[in-house]
Structure 1
């Protein structure tokens, strides 16, 4: 595949469409399929339909292809990439993604840090450092009941198996989730995590699970059945070799998909900086209205240019729940659609990368083999160092999720000046962000803040604004997930409007790129 040729073609397409918009006011001018969103779902849809002799177009809100697959390089560490969104995959679970990447000629390589290798992880909870084997023991800084003094995953498993009719020996299948009842007679899937834990765990155990499991959905308003899938990803026997990544960054997948799509036919096109605001019409003749946008330094905003209209026989929306609900389409106002649309909560997240002249944490007095930390501080996760192409070292000192944590980093990003070597605009790292990170790192690594050298670069990404008001979505209590997925795939029998985002995919794949690929595959088999 000639990727350079694709880039040249892409620039020509963007230039052409920026200066003149074909009218598409008549059915004869219609696109066969309009695909909304150039993330993994939209580009995979175009890829799957590319050889059918159809007139296809992909429309993207911003100037960037990839969606939450977003790879970049720090200005001072050229040639060494970082992933702001999706950064790893498990080929055993994510079979569509692994197969697609391989088919596109991409190289799948080790992601050695996994979720944080157990023997290289330190916990910093309530001001105390603990190794994984110490969690639940006498040094655990929580006032746990005797029967709660377990590792967080063992405690959560115990709460499920002792307070429901669930088997003690195996994880339930997707269908079995709906046959699990609590000992006092409630279907587990109708309860929130908070409701379940408040019934069967002490308040200190709740805080312990929230802090030690770190992920936002360990507690909260999310459906209690989510915790079962949560355990499968964080079990102590997860192998460091289970997780992989894509060489040169995860966004190579949607970029290669788009390349194959554009090169397959001159009837295919990609149009950046177009925001779908409304849909009208009927199958065979939908009138789509796009508001032109402009992207500067990662910020995308509407322009004052006149709206543009496109005719399409079918419409595929490969956009998250938060984007779908902004589209003006009469059937979207129905009570059942609104109910199904809102079956999920959005989870915000962020990552901060900082570059240093050397890996200073090796001078700590905890354990020089520590590569990962989990903490109840707003930084939540830290991941180890990576040597850049020019000898600088890149650290991921904060990977956090949840509204309160992300809101803090947003506030700090808007304060102070920009650090040396930072990416600009939306990925800007301010001096306030850097200083707060250094304060947390000095506690986690047991080093005086003065030991931390000056940064030589940085970048950060906050997934909290349109079109990504959430990094991923998780089900609320009370909904049968497979039914909701099937409904949202094609909600209206009398309309050719299809949704292929992963927002409504059931169970543990919901927050992964794999979900969008599977949604596309199901839509292609059933409706396209």
Structure 2
């Protein structure tokens, strides 16, 4: 150890290693076994190259992470990526089809259908209630027709064409009608120009924006091209099937291909003989947590593709990454909390309470506004869903999505196990960081690194009781639960967005090949031409751009 720093000790070791000391050599080394790294390796599988894929943990897939409760093994629990759209995510969709993976409709559609339920300011209402202005907000006339109309109105205050398919090309040039680029202003600043405070709060409550950090260019991602909202799909056996099948075909394509898990890249040095020397520290994963060891290896490689998250990039000792303009570009990101809390119950207690509380709240609110007709309307909805639940047809339809201003943000019914009858509820799909603090208190509900704590369960039940308008004592004790918040290395947070004033074209040109004289590439959705890495499609776009430009099509 040098000055108490194990990484400095590793650098001293790797810099004096001779070529003969190296454990292995590759034509191409792909670092990072998430969706970007597995896709890059898969795309290069027929290029007649010796390719090595290296992953920090013991699991391939990164944020494609499917978990299964032992008591409900037929329900894939998605701790990370969980859905995609064929039109909006063409590379992902095409790859899934090419691999022959079975897909189905993601039944929890969190875009707004007429029946999407909202619980805001203590009131239950549905998206279609905007048409009658039966919402607990004091909106202006042009704001009271629904969230889609608010977004269309905002679009009209810019020079955006409205065609989402051309958004990426138009984005750097889109300005509001006061001639300020959207990338140079925050969402809150943009909204404040054209919306009432009530409308700003409504949008924030529904889409859970961090209004003060995200560039206003992200607003345009949510504007639908038509009144027909996109249908989201999922991989039937779990989204993690995608990276696993990519790796399977990659390994099967050549004996020269290899995969090594539990390897953390810590240094890159150029040598005069065969490209680069990569210093890896071996790690060990126990109960889902990955930690460093004192064992190191050295790998030589002609070319390197880095597909690791930004916090991991900042930990790599490579002189190029230490250059001031590169380092400042790497730090052009905002990091955002994203938490999922899944709870397993003996039965789907929420399905009946959901409908009853919905009707009760609506009736109470209706009488306040003298709209008695809604009672029959929602009673009919209750009859449809209740009969569907009784005769087991409920799961044949898209399940209701509940969006709230409670810290759980969004609640999704994940279904009933056909094998055991146990039911899974995504109790919190949240951007609030309180869950990470709650997870530090109480006892673990079950075994495993991702097990929720009893304190998380207690708070989840407290908010669910408000959401369903019931007493906490009515909610049964869950038999198991898991939580994901992606706050540990190498991720830091669930997703990132660009800071305001950032030119994504410049970021892409600077980062994807940070050294003009080196064959080292960075393929990251965080530094793609998009303003966010919230969808894996953007990472795949970055990989495609690098491979087509520097490796040729094969």
TM range (shorter): 0.7 to 0.9
- Offset of residue 498 of structure 1: 0.5
The CA deviation at 1:181 is 2.8
**In structure 2, C-alpha distance between the alignment counterparts of 1:265 and 1:467, rounded to whole Å:** 30
User: Match of 2:438?
Assistant: 412
Identify the match of residue 87 of structure 2 among 72, 82, 92: 92
Aligned to 2:168, the other structure's residue is in SS state coil
Q: Give the match for residue 463 of structure 2.
A: 440
1:106 partnered with 2:95: no
Q: 1:493 to 1:262 in 2, by over 3 A?
A: same
**TM score, norm. by length of structure 2:** 0.83
Cα distance, 1:361 vs structure 2: 1.4
Q: Please give the alpha-carbon distance, in whole angstroms, between the structure 2 residues aligned to 1:69 and 1:294.
A: 20
Structure 2 distance, partners of 1:88, 1:335, is: 38
1:225 matches 2:217: yes
Inter-partner Cα distance in structure 1 for 2:253 and 2:206: 49
| 8 A Cα contact 1:229 1:508, kept in partner | no
**2:497 is aligned with 1:507:** no
Q: Distance in 1 between matches of 2:174 and 2:458?
A: 47
Q: Structure 1 102/423 Cα, relative in aligned 2: closer, same or farther at 3 Å?
A: farther
Is the 8 Å Cα contact of residues 276 and 290 (structure 1) preserved in structure 2? yes
Q: Which residue of 2 aligns with 1:115?
A: 110
Which residue of 1 is the match for residue 125 of structure 2?
Answer: 130
**Contact 2:497–2:531 (CA under 8 A) maintained in structure 1:** no
The alpha-carbon distance between structure 1 residues 306 and 153, as it changes in their structure 2 partners (threshold 3 A), is same
In structure 1, which of residues 240, 253, 262 is the aligned counterpart of residue 242 of structure 2? 253
Q: Determine which of 31, 35, 38 is the counterpart of 1:36.
A: 31
CA distance in 1, matches of 2:18, 2:83: 42
Q: Is the 8 A contact 1:117 1:372 kept in 2?
A: no
Which segments of 5 or more consecutive residues in structure 1 lack a partner in the other structure? 1-21
Find the aligned partners of 1:23 and 1:256 in 2 and give their Cα distance.
37
Trace 1:153-232 onto structure 2 (pairs within 5 A): 153-162=148-157, 164-166=158-160, 173-214=167-208, 216=209, 219-232=211-224
CA shift, 1:111, in A, is: 1.2
Please give the alpha-carbon distance, in whole angstroms, between the structure 1 residues aligned to 2:424 and 2:260. 34
Counterpart of 1:450 (choices 473, 494, 497) is 473
Q: CA deviation at 1:165?
A: 4.1
Q: Is contact 2:444-2:452 (8 Å) kept?
A: yes
Q: Contact 1:482/1:506 (CA < 8 Å) preserved in 2? A: yes
1:340 to 329, 334, 337: 329
Partners of 2:238 and 2:31 in 1: CA distance: 23
Partner of 1:13: none
Is residue 295 of structure 1 aligned with residue 318 of structure 2? no
TM-score (norm 1): 0.87
Aligned residues: 493
Q: Distance in 1 between matches of 2:23 and 2:516?
A: 24
Q: SS of the residue aligned with 2:290?
A: strand
Alpha carbons of 1:357 and 1:494: their partners in 2 closer, same or farther (altered >3 Å)?
Answer: same
Asked if residue 386 in structure 1 is aligned to residue 415 in structure 2, the reply is yes
In the alignment, what sits opposite 2:541?
Answer: 518
Matches within 5 A, 1:337-486: 337-364=326-353, 365=356, 366=358, 368=382, 369=385, 371-388=400-417, 389-401=419-431, 405=432, 407-419=433-445, 422-425=446-449, 427-486=450-509
Q: For residue 277 of structure 1, report the CA deviation from its aligned partner.
A: 1.3
Q: Which has the larger radius of gyration?
A: 2
The question of whether the paired residues in 1 share the 8 Å contact of 2:32 and 2:54 is answered with: yes
Q: Is the 8 A contact 1:380 1:399 kept in 2?
A: yes
- The answer (yes or no) to whether the contact 1:27–1:285 under 8 Å persists in 2 is no
Q: 1:24 to 1:115 in 2, by over 3 A?
A: farther
Give the secondary structure class of the aligned counterpart of 1:67.
Answer: coil
* Structure 1 residues 517 and 173, CA gap change in structure 2 (3 angstroms): closer
Pair 1:328–1:379, CA change in 2 (3 A): same
Measure, in 2, the Cα distance between the counterparts of 1:526 and 1:93: 23
Q: Judge conservation of contact 2:23–2:298 (CA < 8 Å) in 1.
A: no
Partner SS for 1:109: strand
Q: How far does residue 433 in structure 1 lie from its aligned partner after superposition?
A: 1.0
Shift of 1:23: 8.3
Structure 1 residues 24 and 134, CA, compared in 2 at 3 Å: closer, same or farther? Answer: farther
Secondary structure at the counterpart of residue 469 of structure 2: coil
Is there any run of 5+ residues in structure 2 with no aligned partner, and where? 1-16, 360-381, 386-398
In structure 2, how many angstroms separate the alpha carbons of the residues matched to 1:27 and 1:289? 10
| Cα shift at 1:309 | 1.7
Residue in 2 that maps onto 1:12: none
For residues 270 and 24 of structure 1, the distance between their equivalents in structure 2, rounded to whole angstroms, comes to 21
Which shifted more, 165-174 or 345-354? 165-174
**Partner secondary structure for residue 102 of structure 1:** helix
The reply on whether 1:266 has 2:266 as its aligned counterpart is no
Query: Which residue of 1 is the match for residue 295 of structure 2?
Result: 306
Q: CA deviation at 1:473?
A: 2.2
- State yes or no: 1:59 paired with 2:82: no
**Distance in 2, Cα, partners of 1:120 & 1:138:** 15
CA contact (8 A) 1:166 1:172 kept: no
Alignment of 1:3-18 (within 5 A): none
> What CA distance in whole angstroms lies between the structure 1 residues aligned with 2:23 and 2:202?
62
SS in 2 for 1:34: strand
Indicate the RMSD between aligned Cα atoms, in angstroms. 2.6
SS at match of 2:485: strand
Which moves more between the two structures, 175-184 or 134-143? Answer: 134-143
